[in-house]
Amino acid sequence: MQTPHLVSILVIDEIPLISVGLQEVFRSIHPSIRVEYTDSVFKALSSREYENRIFHLVILGSDEERYSNSLLLHATELKKRFPGSLIMVYTDQYDPELIAKTVERSINACVHKHEPADEIRKAYIHLSAGEPYISSIFDTLYYSYRLNK
């Protein structure tokens, strides 16, 4: 297997087990992928620990308490803090605005937390190829939303 392009990944999620699960998924893609974890966007943006660090992919987890406006703001700030990083929103909440931003490429991927691990693998492959990715559930919901608009 060829060495992956996205080898350094930062997972930001309030639930530590999310990063453990994602690490296993990424290890199944390639053992050289390095996954780091922090429990808050604030830490990722302000901690000296992350100064001058390079992450190829930043996975921004969310829950029902966060709304798309704050996620979009966080994504923008993370791109400034980690120039060149791709941003994946990993959420269980459907928001057509987040999907639209993925289509527009403000966010690079949007994956539903309750889909199988294969969706993360697909997102990784698309992102490695420079393509945006929207997981199946979100893509179906967004297509229906646009039809009804």
> pLDDT digits over 15-34, tens only?
899 999 999 999 999 999 99
* pTM (two decimals): 0.88
Indicate whether 60 pLDDT > 50. yes
Share of the chain above pLDDT 70, in %: 87
Report, in this order, helix, strand and coil percent for the chain, each rounded to 5. Answer: 45, 20, 35
Tokens read off for 123: 């997102």
Per the model's pLDDT, the better-predicted residue between 130 and 71 turns out to be 130
What is the pairing mode between strands 8-12 and 34-38? parallel
CA distance readout (Å), 64 to 67, 90, 93, 99: 7, 12, 6, 16
Domain annotation for the chain: domains and CATH numbers = 8-148 (3.40.50.2300)
Alpha helix segments (H runs only) across the chain: 16-29, 41-46, 68-81, 96-103, 117-128, 136-148
- CA–CA distance, 35 with 69 (Å, rounded to integer): 26
